[in-house]
Amino acid sequence: MFSLHVYQERRQRLKALMPEKSLAIVAAAAEVIRNRDAEYPFRQSSDFWYLTGFTEPDAVLVIGPGQPDRLFVRPKHPEQEVWTGRRMGPDHVKHRLGIDQGYPLEALDTELKTLLAEIAWVEYPFSCQKSTAIVDQAIKAKGLRSRRSDLLSHRADLSRLLSQARLIKSRQEIDIMKEAGRISAQGHIAAMQACEPGMTEDQLASVVEHQFRMDGSPSIAYQTIVGGGDNACILHYIDRTDRLRSGDLVLIDAGCEVLGYAGDITRTFPVNGSFTNAQAELYDLVLSAQSEAIAQMVVGKSIKLFHETAIRRLTEGLIELNIIEGPLELALEHKRYLPYYMHGTGHFLGLDVHDVGAYEHEGQPVELAEGMVITCEPGLYISQSSDAPARYRGIGIRIEDDVFITGRGPELLTAKVPKERAEIEALMRG
């Protein structure tokens, strides 16, 4: 957790972006039932976490210009806490979270009625159903019905302002993301060292996730993808039920979470420790595409440029390998690469693995700015059912790193895990 001062500054910056007589309402995540009375592990809403550092469910933050910050939380409940864990309670909000006023959650309706009577704008993340329900319930409350249509017309999406704030990472955030990158890298290294034919995809995933936990991460950042052979051509393959076969490649897309911040790495390597010639040809092509793309991830350049660079290099290579027809410019114009490369080359990374942030502004691609963190993840996916030459079928490759955009050039937060073929084979030989 950051110091209280960091969260206070974040709330102040957000309020500075809001119009006068406005109110921002941000709800915490709710617990989610897995089945019957068993719950999924709780994960806080990223926007709420960013503004408060509070890790309990069922809470609501209410802030606005010229207003004290208010946090509504579950009250203390000694009997319930025996079963489900300790609660902070409203009396401890100020000194433990640095938030001006703490209230029991039950007081939310009453307090909102009073606050909304003087408010012209209400802002909350439109994606948050709880925030929406809270506002609508308050608007319907006695004394506000006459203003309902006017207030509804002055609701605004807080997500845009929060996205602006979260997009550029502070030095403290980068330090945490470096740790997430380091631990994520160790998980991939452990998988390369442990991999052998006959293991199931799920067993290899467990090696990765075990290493995350042993290295200090409490959670995965997203469902670990482990796909051997043709399964690697399924972008979000999470079944993990097949056995790994000698002669196949295995693709692992996995990252851990540290203090809410995600790591996101993909590596592809041979199950038996040695690349075949066909695998090597495709792998080197993807690696060169990533290298050329990362070189374009520079402050002031269009965010589209690194994607376009990767596409051009992959298309050149596919023509050279007789997988698609040239010439190059015609192949690019007709997007002949699409059957083998169908996704973007990167995304913002932060508290969410696909983090907030606009890729366009007024119809134009945004420019890369210092403090952004973006993945770079070109790939090639040549399934058994494709029209490619037979020697390339059943091969899926993706290479992904997390890139910190700095004034000195791109900095890889995930450089510790090998990606050169010789390095991978040496590591797997032990």
Distance separating alpha carbons of residues 199 and 22, to the nearest angstrom: 57
Is 264 a residue of the active site? Answer: yes
Catalytic residue flag (residue 37)? yes
Q: Is 341 a catalytic residue?
A: no
Q: What is the DSSP secondary-structure string of 140-177?
A: HSTTTGGGHHHHHTTEEETHHHHHHHHHSPPHHHHHHH
343 belongs to the catalytic site? yes
Select which of 40, 343, 370, 420 is catalytic.
343
Residue 77: active-site member: no
How many Å apart are CA 419 and CA 400, to the nearest integer? Answer: 9
The reply to whether 354 belongs to the active site is: yes
Strands (E), 28-106: 33-35, 38-39, 60-63, 70-73, 101-104
Q: Which of 5, 36, 171, 236 is catalytic?
A: 236
Respond yes or no: is residue 347 known to be catalytic.
yes
Instruction: Please confirm, yes or no, whether 400 is among the known catalytic residues.
Output: yes
Q: How many CB atoms lie within 10 A of CB 383?
A: 18
Which is the catalytic residue, given 56, 230, 248, 377? 377
Of 5, 20, 36, 37, which is the active-site residue? 37
Which of 230, 400, 401, 402 is flagged as catalytic? Answer: 400
CB hemisphere CA count around 193 (13 angstroms): 13
The active-site residue, picked from 179, 264, 316, 401, is 264
Nearest to 160 by CA among 364, 361, 27, 358: 358
3-class DSSP state for residue 28? coil
Give the active site residue among 341, 347, 355, 401: 347
Helix and strand totals (H; E) in the chain: 14, 21
Instruction: Give the separation between CA 61 and CA 73, rounded to whole angstroms.
Output: 9
Whether 95 is catalytic is no
Q: Which of 182, 340, 398, 401 is catalytic?
A: 398
Q: What is each CA distance from 346 to 85, 159, 218, 293, in whole angstroms? A: 39, 21, 25, 10
Rounded-to-integer distance, Cα 321 and Cα 316, Å: 9
Nearest alpha carbon to residue 337 among 377, 386, 373: 386
Exactly one of 209, 248, 253, 352 is catalytic; name it. 253
- 13, 92, 148, 354: the active-site residue: 354
Mind telling me the catalytic residues?
37, 236, 253, 264, 343, 347, 354, 377, 381, 398, 400
